[in-house]
Structure 1
Amino acid sequence: MYTVIGTVGSRTLRVLWMLEELGLDYEHVRAAPRSEDVVAFNPAGKVPVLVVDGTPITDSTAIITYLSDAHGRLTHKPGTLDRARQDSLTQFLLDEFDANLWTAARHSFILPEELRLSGIKNSLRWEFERSQHTLIHRMSEGDFVMGEELTVPDIILAHCLDWALMAKFPIVEHRLSEYHARMRARPAYKRAVAKRDG
């Protein structure tokens, strides 16, 4: 049994979705960032946290990579060229999609008001659009980022596209809009998102 700590409206969704795709049992503790329930396992107060046999794992990418490796599904085998490509795409998404969206969020409502730079969002949107053009040339021709099987980068990309729409960062590539619709239609995704209202 796994325990997931964090609110669904955060990167915690990535972990819940991965667990649902894998069909694993877990407990979900709906705790906000920096709350006592979170700080008890992660002194930084960030979510998500996955607790495995009393040991906390932090960072959504580390968690979903651990889960896919531990259960031998939704990933390519470590040490293979496919895994190197998978890891490269994961890093690209974290650097070019997640980082821009997180910086925009910090300058919208996270940083103290006197430290926020509202004008920075224009350059972040520009970078986000440019990164979309690059990504579609790196994606496979299949339904998923790497081909015919959902893998770790799909969870990150679909979540970032959700986040982009909420942050009013346009999805300018039609292919990514179609991809996003397919990901959101997955039963496991719907089950994870439904926990927001649970």
Structure 2
Amino acid sequence: MYKVIGATKSRALRVMWMLEELGEPYEHIACGPRSDEAKQYNPSGKIPALVDGDDVLTDSVAIMQYLADKHGKLTAPAGTPARARQDAMTFWLIDEMDAILWAAAKHSFVFPEEQRVPEIKDSLKSEFARAAKILSDRLEGPFLMGDSITVPDLLATHCINWSIGAGFPSVDDKLGAWAKSTRERPAFKAATSKEA
């Protein structure tokens, strides 16, 4: 059985949601970043980590794609144009949404107070709003890559949720309704119901 290390209110939720979508059982070890528990699985203390047998994997997006590939679900097959398009969307979301949210977090509570630059957050919010508009314009089907849910859907929804918690401006109605529909999936609800 898989083990997911990390707090539900972190990027570990992405991995838990992925496993719920796949119907794979897992043990959740709730712990915060840089905790002694987290450092047992990742010396840097970053979360999440996934234990699969003797292997420990890190980075939420790498873990999600590994699980998708391993189980042959929520992904286009490797080596296909559809997969290249999916990977392009995934990398775009990491660059244009996740990285912006992480930068805002660093200047809110991660960095020591003397290293924070609170003024940067306004420009980050503006950049996120620009990216959210682009994503909304690209959304044509029920999911980002068409008719089936894939890794980018989980990543984008998590970023939108994170933006709400971080006090960023709301996304437009189209993207907001789409994110609401993905949050209504039973797998998302099962993942979010776990201990923090």
Is TM-score (shorter-chain normalized) higher than 0.5?
A: yes
Gapped regions of structure 2 (runs ≥ 5):
none
1:134 aligned residue: 134
1:168 aligned residue: 167
Question: Are 1:30 and 2:14 matched, yes or no?
Answer: no
1:110 aligned residue: 110
The offset of 1:172, in angstroms, is 3.1
Q: Percent identity?
A: 51
1:40 alignment partner, SS class: helix
1:63 alignment partner, SS class: helix
The offset of 1:182, in angstroms, is 0.2
CA–CA separation in structure 2 for the residues paired with 1:111 and 1:42? 20
CA–CA separation in structure 2 for the residues paired with 1:11 and 1:169? 18
1:10-39 superposed Cα distances (whole Å, 9 cap, x missing partner): 000000000000000111111111112211
The offset of 1:171, in angstroms, is 2.6
TM-score (norm 2): 0.97
1:74 aligned residue: 74
2:191 aligned residue: 192
1:89 alignment partner, SS class: helix
Contact kept in structure 2, 1:107 and 1:116, CA below 8 Å: yes
1:105-158 superposed Cα distances (whole Å, 9 cap, x missing partner): 11001100000001000000110011112222333x211111111000001000
Question: Are 1:152 and 2:151 matched, yes or no?
Answer: yes
TM-score (norm 1): 0.96
Question: Which stretch of structure 1 is more off in the superposition, 32-41 or 86-95?
Answer: 32-41
Amino acid of the structure 2 residue aligned with 1:112: P
CA–CA separation in structure 1 for the residues paired with 2:131 and 2:8? 26
Contact kept in structure 2, 1:19 and 1:25, CA below 8 Å: yes
Equivalent residues in 2 for 1:84-123 (5 A)? 84-123=84-123
How many residue pairs get aligned? The number is 196
Task: Give 4+ residue runs of structure 1 displaced > 4 Å after superposition.
Answer: none
CA–CA separation in structure 2 for the residues paired with 1:185 and 1:144? 14
Contact kept in structure 2, 1:9 and 1:196, CA below 8 Å: no
2:118 alignment partner, SS class: coil
1:43-95 superposed Cα distances (whole Å, 9 cap, x missing partner): 11000000111211000000000000000000000011110010000011000
